[in-house]
Amino acid sequence: MRRGRPVGSAVRQNVLEILGVLGRGHGYQIYKIYRELFPKVTLRVIYYHLKKGIELGELEIEKIEKERGDYSWGSEAEKIYYKLGPKATVHGDDRVKNYIESQQQR
């Protein structure tokens, strides 16, 4: 038996399920959907699992955009868009699919 923590994570699997339906999304967008469907997590935890997913090949960075606006931290925000990577396994959670489809119809 191997020592240490197991590689899998329920939070990261839920993020993969969200991206499986969305196709691509940035961190805060994923966080907002996650908070509606699953137990509460912090934004920091979501970003940790996005970074870990990239390390494991479950996620890839699709593009990085700079968006101008009037933010509390300045006039520009950087959005990193993620997509599923080659090692991602999506099970097809119906809650995620139904929620995202209902949000897109609005």
Count of C-beta atoms within a 10 Å radius of residue 55 = 8
**Tokens describing residue 74:** 């300045």
Is 62 a member of any domain? yes
* pLDDT in the model for residue 1: 67
> In the chain, pLDDT over 90 holds for what percent of residues?
78
- The answer to whether position 82 is within a domain reads yes
Q: 71 exposed, middle or buried (CB, 10 Å; 0-12, 13-18, 19+)?
A: exposed
What is the extent of the structural domain holding 56? 10-87
Residue 56 banded pLDDT, cuts 50, 70, 90: very high
- Distance in angstroms (rounded) separating the CA atoms of residues 23 and 17: 10
Q: What is the pLDDT of residues 46-55, one digit of tens each?
A: 999 999 999 9
Compute the residue count for the chain.
106
The number of distinct structural domains making up the chain is 1
Stated pTM of the model: 0.87
The domain that contains 29 carries what CATH number?
1.10.10.10
